Amino acid sequence: MVYAYDNLICSFENNIMLIKINRPAVLNALNSAVFEDLYSVFQQMKEDDDVRVVILTGTGDKSFAAGSDVSEMSACNLIDGRKFALGVNRAQQAIANFPRPTIVAINGFAFGGGLEVAMCCDIRIASQAAKMANPEINVGLIPGGGGTQRLARMVGSGMAKEIIFTCQTINAETALRIGLVNRVVSPEKLLDEALEMAKTIASKSPVLMTLAKQAINIGQDLDLENALKVEVELFAQCFGTEDGKEGLSAFVEKRKPVIKGR
């Protein structure tokens, strides 16, 4: 498939899609066009079985995405604001619901909408130089792209309220301590770390990865009893896949499994 977008740079190798948000002149700020491109690329990749892992980052070394584009939002009335938020939500849900694993490499500022996009990904790796915030109240708004919901689910409502109410900027080490990111690495090793993890994930069965991701995502919004029922059903589905049968046979036969993605 051809992946060509005005605001994204896409490169594909070894079953890994690397996507860079590409608006460096404005620190990769997210306007409606960027969100439309993000929605489109994730929808396109859903139909491309060759894409086993996605890495999302920003161009340059200063910013992943320095928030949603305030200059665009400043012209909105109530109806326009709702329309903008719905477009943001559509793009972010396309990322969050993408069936295969996603990694975000946070290479600098991840403010407002940028942090919200990062939280849609499965795994977050941050540069030591990364800075994160939900400062929307400072510009007359509240987080409207999942910030009030995903942040609270990740770090707890008390910490989320502190970050949102104070508009404080947190560094990468603080983000790691509160569970907002998975790893922190030096700026020069950020992309290598993401690619190394992506290679490991891409070597596994994509169909089993999808089932595992579904179990986690669905289960986290249910009580434990019902979440365990979901896990049982998805676990059972493994036995109906070629990769599941191959994995079991390979283990018994003490050999490396041959992954077919089915």
Q: Which amino acid is at 108?
A: G
Active site residues: 116, 136
Phi, psi for residue 127 in degrees, rounded to 5: -70, 150
CA 165 and chain centroid, separation: 24
Contact 129, 187 (CB under 8 A): yes
Task: Spell out the residues 6+ positions from residue 118 whose beta carbon is closer than 8 angstroms to its own.
Answer: 56, 64, 65, 104, 106, 110, 124, 132
User: What's the half-sphere exposure (Cβ side, CA atoms, 13 Å) at 159?
Assistant: 16
- C-alpha 14/C-alpha 51 separation (Å) is 9
From residue 12, how far is each of 2, 4, 34, 54 by CA, in Å? 10, 12, 20, 9
- C-alpha 126/C-alpha 183 separation (Å) is 6
Neighbours of 61 (CB within 10 A): 13
Contact 144, 90 (CB under 8 A): no
Rounded (5°) CA angle 170-172-178: 75
Residue 29: Cβ-neighbour burial (10 angstroms; 0-12, 13-18, 19+): buried
